[in-house]
């Protein structure tokens, strides 16, 4: 089974702190994604990556950056956390193996609270 | 107009009811249509996947796509309390490069009461 592991399920940070959210997948997937999920707003794509060291902005990249130094790991960085970034963060991966649907496999989520 | 519209509910039904969940979309380039199920405090998981128009059945679940109307549906027969979750529709233009990026509906919260 594909496993997408997010390093922290719950975090509490202070305004202005630098925050790292880590995500690791074990299926050699090419694509990795970071979403945030908020009540009434649904899932919104922050950044995605189609290959190592490659990244593309999603719909709401402001205030975030990402790093993908290894194929299995995709990190989301909040350079200076703000209260508006309190949210559930979901990492996902997908691959282009022949015959697969390209479905997204999600991690369990990281609930971040910024005080 | 949003690219994907989904009634957020909440929807509450008795056990055994037939449930209908729907999404409409505006971009005719979408070709791949999915339904994800998300239990509370968990990540979404793929429930159904359909390419282009037509129906697909899997046990108690049926997915329908009508590209001419830009309308997709998920039907749940004989609903069970274990079906209580948020259901998200999602769609993409393709499976290669940036075409793969999924566009999600906001999700419908379903509660099935015993």
pLDDT digits (tens, 9 = 90+) for B40-74: 989 999 999 888 888 999 999 999 999 999 999 99
pLDDT for residue B76: 97
Residue A4 pLDDT > 90: yes
Q: Which residue of A has its CA nearest to B47?
A: A103
Subunit contact A101:B100, Cβ cutoff 8 A: no
pLDDT for residue B28: 92
Reference B65, options B36, B94, B32, B42; nearest CA is B32
Residues of B at the A interface, defined by Cβ within 8 angstroms: 8, 32, 34, 36, 41-46, 49, 88, 90, 92, 95-98, 100-102, 104-107
Percent pLDDT > 70 in chain B is 94
Sequence-ordered strand ranges (E) for chain A: 4-6, 10-13, 19-25, 31-38, 42-49, 56-57, 65-70, 73-78, 87-94, 105-106, 110-114
pLDDT, greater one: A53 or A82? A82
Residue A100 pLDDT > 70: no
pLDDT for residue A101: 63
Q: What is the mean pLDDT of residues A60-80?
A: 96
Residues of A at the B interface, defined by Cβ within 8 angstroms: 4, 31, 40-43, 45, 48, 50, 56, 58, 90, 92, 94, 96, 101-109
**How many Å lie between the alpha carbon of B5 and the closest alpha carbon of chain A?**
11
Residue B98 pLDDT > 70: no
Percent pLDDT > 90 in chain A is 72
Report DSSP state, residue A71: T
pLDDT, greater one: B31 or A100? B31
Q: A103: pLDDT confidence band, cut at 50, 70 and 90?
A: confident
Q: A2: pLDDT confidence band, cut at 50, 70 and 90?
A: low
pLDDT for residue A104: 86
Mutate to test the interface with A, among B30, B96, B102 (most CBs of A within 10 A): B102
Q: Which residue of A has its CA nearest to B100?
A: A102
**How many Å lie between the alpha carbon of A13 and the closest alpha carbon of chain B?**
20
For residue B81, the SS3 value is helix
């Amino acid at each position: 089974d594909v496993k997408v592991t997010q390093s922290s399920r719950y975090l509490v940070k202070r305004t202005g702190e630098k925050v790292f959210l880590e995500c690791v997948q074990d299926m050699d997937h090419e694509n990795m994604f970071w979403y945030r999920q908020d009540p009434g707003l649904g899932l919104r794509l922050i950044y995605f990556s189609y290959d190592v060291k490659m990244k593309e902005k999603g719909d709401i990249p402001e205030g975030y950056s990402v790093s993908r130094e290894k194929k299995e790991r995709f990190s989301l960085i909040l350079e200076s956390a703000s209260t508006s970034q309190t949210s559930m963060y979901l990492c996902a991966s997908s691959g282009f193996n022949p015959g697969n649907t390209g479905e997204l496999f999600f991690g369990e989520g990281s609930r971040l609270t910024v005080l | 107009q949003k690219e994907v519209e989904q009634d957020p509910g909440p929807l509450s039904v008795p056990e055994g009811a037939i449930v209908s969940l729907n999404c409409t979309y505006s971009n005719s380039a979408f070709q791949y249509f999915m339904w994800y199920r998300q239990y509370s405090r968990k990540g979404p998981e793929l429930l159904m996947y359909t390419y282009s128009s037509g129906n697909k059945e899997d046990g108690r679940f049926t997915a329908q796509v009508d590209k001419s109307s830009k309308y997709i549906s998920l039907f749940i027969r004989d609903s069970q309390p274990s079906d209580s979750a948020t259901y998200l529709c999602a769609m993409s233009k393709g499976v290669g490069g940036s075409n793969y990026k999924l566009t999600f509906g906001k999700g419908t919260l379903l509660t099935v009461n015993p």
